[in-house]
Amino acid sequence: MTDVINKLCVVGVGLIGGSLARSLRDARYVREIVGYGRSLGNLQQAMELGVIDSAAVSVGEAVRNADMIVLALPVGTMPEILQALAPVLPDAAVMTDVGSVKGSVIAAARAALGSRFAHFVPGHPIAGTEQSGVAASLPDLFVERRVILTPEAETDKSAVDKVRAMWQATGAEVVAMPAAEHDALLAASSHLPHLLAYALVDMLVRRDDHRAVFDCIAGGFRDFTRIAASDPVMWRDICLANRTAILDVLRQYRDDLGDLVQAVERGDGHWLLDTFNRAKHARDALNKKL
């Protein structure tokens, strides 16, 4: 296989980084996988599970002779790791990331990498679960899921091709778009639902009768709030990194929620039914894609 990765370095061997490693190994698309991260216990577990072949104790050791480096870290930690990587990057290495926000990551990479920025391919797999850690990783997590690449004007085309081929080897569909478009779309489709789930659970738990409320929860509550079990640090970082786009969609939601409050206040059944029907038809159509 001519495009096989000789040495893959995964910086951050959690749900996404671990799933990518497992998928590429199953596809026989990689010869060696090295993990790097702050938690030695997590790296040891990754080796015991066969997700990585070895763990590096320094970033320089981790990327030595690597031809593909994947940053699978919270977006808030990207500037620090990019600064650490800049002086030790192998000449032939291509680097990519999996962050849910692209604008801030691109800015950090451009500032840290200088001329090597051309070999950095910003990316984001639209896949995941509310679980975290390498034990939650899945070899089929990316099958028939979308991966968005957001290369800049100076991004090397061959680097983009290598990252695209890597994700295609996992069974993913790979598309490209501008970073600003990605961040606006993800603010609406992913970031807003997570914020609403966190806010709802937090609102209810602060009620005096929260124990009685939680005794009465059913499937609707579980479905809506499942993602509130996601990593709070990761979602704090996403909110800060993509705050402009998130604020836009939060304000739009606040205005629409105000319309809903007014409809309930005036007992406007026609408005409620029209809104619910419109939403149901849209959700039914989405079922065919989910």
Where does the chain hold its CATH 1.10.3660.10 domain(s)?
Answer: 181-287
Query: How many Cβ atoms from other residues are within 10 Å of residue 188's Cβ?
Result: 15
* CB contact burial 238-258 (16+ within 10 A = b; e otherwise): bbebbeebbeebbeeeeeeee
Lowest mean pLDDT among 175-184, 195-204, 211-220: 211-220
pLDDT of the residue at 159: 97
* Greatest extent of the chain over all pairs of C-alpha atoms, in Å: 68
Q: For residue 266, which phi and psi values (nearest 5 degrees)? A: -90, 0
For the residues 38-51, what does the mean pLDDT come to? 90
For the residues 127-148, what does the mean pLDDT come to? 90
Contact 183, 245 (CB under 8 A): yes
- Is residue 1 over pLDDT 60? no
Instruction: Tell me the whole-structure pTM to 2 decimals.
Output: 0.90
For the residues 103-109, what does the mean pLDDT come to? 97
pLDDT of the residue at 131: 76
- Is residue 72 over pLDDT 60? yes
**CATH code of domain 5-177:** 3.40.50.720
- Is residue 228 over pLDDT 60? yes
Which two structure tokens, joined as six digits, stand for 94?
């291509």
pLDDT of the residue at 133: 86
- Is residue 290 over pLDDT 70? no
Where does the chain hold its CATH 3.40.50.720 domain(s)?
Answer: 5-177
Alpha-carbon dihedral of residues 248, 251, 257, 258, nearest 10 degrees? Answer: -150
- CATH 3.30.9.10 assigned to 181-287: no
